[in-house]
Amino acid sequence: MASASLAMYDFCEPVRQANDALWRIIRDDLTKAGFSAPSKLDRSSRYDALWRREDLVFAQTCGYPYIKQLRGHVRLVGVPIYRFPGGNGIDRASLVIVRDADGIGGIEDLRNRRVAVNDPMSNSGMNLLRALIAPQAIAGRFFSKVSFTGGHLMSLADVLAGHADVAAIDSVTFGLLAAHSPDALKGVKVLMQTPAGPGLPIISRKDATDAEVSVVRESLSRIATQPAYAAIREPLGLVGFEVPDQAAYDALTELEDFALRRGYPVIN
């Protein structure tokens, strides 16, 4: 049995339909080349449940779990490039959002505010934000309260509802919301961007062969560049695909080390 997932940004119907179309192309290319591939994307499993499965063909993970838990245990297939603000090639910053009505004008205005973090293992919601805040922290503290929400959409909802004052939102998530559900962003503004680092990588199981990975890379490169696939790219905001060296993700470790050197090991 083989498994595949694109759960990280699969939260609205136009994106789901485009993900399905993208996967059908990859699946058919793999099948034609003699490799096993599931007929459909897995939407029944938790987003991170497939990352270390021995039958994983295709999934998108977060950069921070990749450097902390997955590197050396999976194969790096490549990194999609998106058109949305906050990105430069494969590198992406997060967008620090606050309520429009709160009058927050800069980073110092966030001191002693309540922060919503999607997950303690998130690069976009935690690691990049930690690097931004570290120089401002005093004795390892900056915020008055930290709440872990379970996802960027929940962090956004907490800010809008007044349960938190600030959150760092993945810039692709924000861009997809702006494109497909702009009403979801009413009442918040982007205060600033965090430092940037490589975005969400596509991975496969550790023992995937070079030939199999090459098929997936060729499929993604074709989808990302050829005019025939524009209808798939547009809902996803996809404008490119790159295969970086694994060492590119050392930039995320460097951001972690930057915060540690400044006495800010965790968001506080």
Map residue 155 onto helix, strand or coil.
helix
Among 199, 146, 203, 147, residue whose Cα is nearest residue 173 = 199
Give the pair of three-digit tokens for residue 209.
């062969």
Q: pLDDT band for 257, please (50, 70, 90 cuts).
A: very high
Express the helix, strand and coil content of the chain in percent, nearest 5 each: 45, 20, 35
Q: Provide the whole-model pTM.
A: 0.96
Summarised one tens digit per residue, pLDDT across range 97-134 is 999 999 999 999 999 999 999 999 999 999 999 999 99
Residue bearing tokens 């060492």: 247
Average pLDDT of span 53-59:
97
Residue bearing tokens 């606050």: 98
Summarised one tens digit per residue, pLDDT across range 25-52 is 999 999 999 999 999 999 999 989 999 9
Average pLDDT of span 162-182:
99
Average pLDDT of span 218-244:
99
Q: State the pLDDT at residue 252.
A: 99
Integer angstrom CA distances of residue 23 from 29, 42, 111, 206: 10, 11, 44, 20
Instruction: Please give the mean pLDDT across all residues of the chain.
Output: 98
Q: pLDDT band for 180, please (50, 70, 90 cuts).
A: very high
Q: pLDDT band for 152, please (50, 70, 90 cuts).
A: very high
pLDDT at 1 over 90: no
Instruction: For the chain, give the percent of residues with pLDDT over 90.
Output: 99
Beta-strand ranges (E) seen in 49-108 are 56-60, 74-82, 87-88, 91-92, 94-99
Spatial separation of the C-alpha atoms in residues 95 and 172, rounded to whole Å: 10
Angle at 180 between CA 177 and CA 182, to 5 degrees: 60
Instruction: For the chain, give the percent of residues with pLDDT over 70.
Output: 100
pLDDT at 65 over 90: yes
Q: Delineate the domains of the chain, giving CATH numbers in brackets.
A: 3-83+198-253 (3.40.190.10), 88-197 (3.40.190.10)
